[in-house]
Structure 1
Amino acid sequence: MTDYRINPMPEPLSPELIQKLRLVQTASVGHFRQWGFMDRRIRPLLRGKRVAGVAVTVAIPGPDSTLLGHALGLLRPGDFVVVDRLGDDRYACWGGGVTASAKAAGAVGAIVDGPCTDLLEIEEADFPMWCRGLSSITAGWYNLGGTMNHPVACGNVPVLAGDVILADEEGVVILPREEANEIADSAIALQDLEKATRLETPAGETSEATQMVLEAIGQKS
């Protein structure tokens, strides 16, 4: 008997939180937080995208994408699809048709821990997509089972349905829902401080960091 395990869809994120997260660079979070970041080999297919959404998790085996097809019919605006390929790196489960369906449903982006296909169609759809590269070998509907909105592993980090996904050109970070607002506030404050510091250091003057290094090695600016 084919084993499918499907939990209810997670609660959507508030528009206020999503709007705030869109101001946050993943690299800013990386200044004060060391966990929750996906493997850096999970890379964006489109440049210049920064998106945030609620994790809808799918785990599907090898050549099969049956459950992903089912998930597409349940997606809502603001959802961010996270696909665990259960270790497979050969079959592309995500291509042009899946992209069109996900975008029509209002999904803000997707991450596949494996390859995708149909790069041109993904680019034409302007759909934010992160994956481990491209493959010409595609998955099909073989009814092999899988899980939806259960815990998964993607990019070597655990992801729970309902987690907050923040992704940009630098990478992908998973934020617990209950911590996301505080993390966003900290990251934005850090970005503002860095911007102010750059503006306050005129060309030709020594920055505070450089001054500290010079003093440590016994030199003066």
Structure 2
Amino acid sequence: MSPSDQPVSAAALEQLRHVSTATLTTQLFKRGLRNVFLQGVVPLVKPAAGAPNLVGPAFTLRNIPAREDLDHLGVFQDPDHPQRKAVESAPPGSVLVQDCRGDRSVASVGSILALRLAKRGVAGMVSDGAVRDSGTIADLGLPIWCAGASAPLNLAKHHAVDMNVPIACGGVPVYPGDIVVADVDGVVIVPKDMAEEVARDATEQEQLEAFITQRIAEGRPLRGTYPPDEATLTAYREWRAAQSS
């Protein structure tokens, strides 16, 4: 099994549930990745303070612009319509990520399909388009990050064509299996092959920053504290050791 075929460990996924997307963008920047944060995509319901992040491997759906002779209500009589098939195919624990080309004028999902995703155990959905029935969806408990609310159905603007292929969402490339991490700020895409080390280093970064925050709160200056000099790093290591004992 090649590294790209290996699943991301449960331990790494758990770490990613408890680090911020801000921290993750820093870790990915260190590795040369600058375009990882989805633009215009926000939580439909603001997460409660301290709530774990939405985390899971991406299962993608690509939409192209609709065409009137092809996109009419009759297409939903086909149970294998790509949108419906994606809802029935996204694995439990995955995040359905939709490429809607950033079009906010119509919905990318409604309450019945969102309910089906929830019942199937899908972790959540991310879309750079809008959703309809937003009040009902908000009460389902299915985590959704999207571009807002819009009542018109998807067929008015979207033609679903492919699932589990590379897509763009919020201006960011998303490959099937990439790890989606979403918090109150928005959504970051972590390449699958980097997820283990990014999760580890992001956790360490946040522990160091907790120590630095404590020192700044005590009135210490930025110089030597943020970024930390060797004296601050030594004090941090002693602090960590004391916490572990």
TM-score (norm 2): 0.73
Does residue 1:207 correspond to 2:236, yes or no? Answer: no
Aligned counterparts, 1:42-57, within 5 A = 42-48=41-47, 50-57=53-60
More helix by share: 2
CA contact (8 A) 2:101 2:170 kept: no
Segment of structure 1 superposing worse, 142-151 or 64-73: 142-151
Q: Which residue is 1:218 aligned to? A: none
Q: Which residue is 2:24 aligned to? A: 29
User: How far, CA to CA, are the matches of 2:135 and 2:6 in structure 1?
Assistant: 32
| AA of the residue aligned to 2:187 | V
User: How far, CA to CA, are the matches of 2:168 and 2:13 in structure 1?
Assistant: 23
| AA of the residue aligned to 1:110 | M
Aligned counterparts, 1:112-123, within 5 A = 112-123=127-138
String of CA shifts for 1:33-69, please: whole Å, max 9, x gaps: 3424234311111112511100001012345683121
| AA of the residue aligned to 1:44 | P
Does residue 1:132 correspond to 2:168, yes or no? Answer: no
| AA of the residue aligned to 2:146 | C
CA change 1:196–1:56 in 2 (3 A) is same
Q: Which residue is 2:9 aligned to? A: 14
User: How far, CA to CA, are the matches of 1:175 and 1:159 in structure 2?
Assistant: 9
String of CA shifts for 1:111-152, please: whole Å, max 9, x gaps: 111111111112111111111111111125999550111110
User: How far, CA to CA, are the matches of 1:21 and 1:36 in structure 2?
Assistant: 19
CA change 1:144–1:122 in 2 (3 A) is closer
CA change 1:17–1:211 in 2 (3 A) is closer
Aligned counterparts, 1:175-186, within 5 A = 175-186=190-201
Query: How many corresponding residue pairs?
Result: 202
| AA of the residue aligned to 2:41 | I
Instruction: Give the counterpart of 1:58 among 54, 61, 64.
Output: 61
Unaligned runs of 5+ in 1: 1-9, 213-221
CA RMSD of aligned residues (A): 2.7
CA change 1:24–1:39 in 2 (3 A) is same
Segment of structure 1 superposing worse, 27-36 or 141-150: 141-150
Per the TM alignment, residue 103 of structure 1 is displaced from its structure 2 partner at its CA by 0.7
Per the TM alignment, residue 193 of structure 1 is displaced from its structure 2 partner at its CA by 0.5
CA contact (8 A) 1:150 1:160 kept: yes
Segment of structure 1 superposing worse, 29-38 or 71-80: 29-38
Segment of structure 1 superposing worse, 37-46 or 84-93: 84-93
Instruction: Give the counterpart of 1:155 among 164, 170, 173.
Output: 170
Per the TM alignment, residue 74 of structure 1 is displaced from its structure 2 partner at its CA by 1.4
Unaligned runs of 5+ in 2: 227-245
User: How far, CA to CA, are the matches of 2:108 and 2:225 in structure 1?
Assistant: 52
Local SS of the residue matching 1:69: helix
Segment of structure 1 superposing worse, 141-150 or 118-127: 141-150
User: How far, CA to CA, are the matches of 1:136 and 1:53 in structure 2?
Assistant: 28
TM-score (norm 1): 0.81
User: How far, CA to CA, are the matches of 1:202 and 1:88 in structure 2?
Assistant: 43
User: How far, CA to CA, are the matches of 2:217 and 2:146 in structure 1?
Assistant: 41
User: How far, CA to CA, are the matches of 2:195 and 2:147 in structure 1?
Assistant: 26
Local SS of the residue matching 1:59: strand
CA contact (8 A) 2:55 2:180 kept: yes
